[in-house]
Amino acid sequence: MKRTGPRRLLRPITNAFTLIELLVVIAIIGILAALLLPVLGQARERGRIATCASNLRQIGIAVDMYAEDNTDTYPVGYLQKLGTDWVLLVGQYVGRNQTTYGTGIANPSKVFLCPSVKIPSGRTSRLHYSGHIALFGPQTFSASYISPVKRSRVVRASQVILVAEGNLGQPVGAAATEYDADATFGPPMLFPMQQYDGSKTDNDTPVSGIDAINYDPGNGNALQQLRWRHNNNTGGNFLFCDGHVEFLGINQVTARNLRYDP
């Protein structure tokens, strides 16, 4: 006869975490998230900066193609008589057919829109970049630009900014729902209104004061100014007359870059 001993009660095996283990895991996840989120945010910002720079390079190519088709002249910044501006004039070279405000399809290319711009609810945008008033308008800086400027007038092509990120609001004549940069940057800024003179001692002076306001008014006040909207409003992309694009901080843009060649 087989003898049997007392049965041993087996404890059920479970895979559940204890409360302490769960708290440790949650704490580790929180630490990793705190470490990774800033890195991911910086990566996204670098991507937006790269896209913005690509936009400006494409704009530079479009401006050059326009000039080659129009006796080596830059497009006018704003032509009141014909109801058009430089964006519409070069738009045909980036796949858009609208050449005046009242014709074609009002569908601006994303090339003219900076990905870092946060468009307010209920507003629309077609332009986030502004051209140099002395190059996209006549040297008289009249309200209605009618005299195109030849590219050959610029002798310091690698030093002079042609197109830059502009501050945003409601340009003169625009609908109240528009949230755009002015066609050109200029007054109230000072340096873009001045001729370059190599003998001046302040040519390498960084922009400051009225030339470096650096904010988006949202309305028609204080437009026509530069905007450093990247890296927490400390840097911006700039297209130079020779076609190259640079990312510059406020203290890196100087009078030399904004003064026009006489």
Q: Which of 207, 90, 86, 202 is nearest to 135 (CA)?
A: 86
Specify if 200 maps to a domain.
yes
Q: How far does Cα 121 stand from its chain's mean position?
A: 19
Specify if 106 maps to a domain.
yes
Specify if 13 maps to a domain.
no
Q: Which of 113, 110, 83, 78 is nearest to 186 (CA)?
A: 78
β-partners of residue 195 are 260
Specify if 153 maps to a domain.
yes
Taking the chain, what is the end-to-end CA distance rounded to the nearest angstrom? 119
Q: Which of 172, 177, 77 is nearest to 129 (CA)?
A: 77
Specify if 238 maps to a domain.
yes
Distance CA 189, CA 257 (A): 13
Specify if 127 maps to a domain.
yes
Domain that holds residue 78: 19-258
Query: Half-sphere exposure of 150 toward its Cβ, with a 13 Å CA cutoff?
Result: 6
In this structure, the number of other CB atoms found within 10 A of the CB of residue 216 comes to 22
pLDDT one digit per residue (tens) for the chain, 262 residues: 555 555 555 555 556 668 787 888 888 888 887 777 776 667 788 999 999 999 999 999 999 999 999 999 999 888 766 678 899 899 889 877 666 666 655 566 889 999 999 999 999 898 999 999 999 975 444 444 456 899 999 999 999 999 999 999 998 888 889 999 999 999 899 999 999 999 999 999 999 999 999 999 999 888 999 999 999 999 999 999 999 999 999 999 999 999 999 8
Distance CA 224, CA 132 (A): 10
Provide the whole-model pTM.
Answer: 0.81
Specify if 12 maps to a domain.
no
Specify if 163 maps to a domain.
yes
Domain tally, the chain: 1
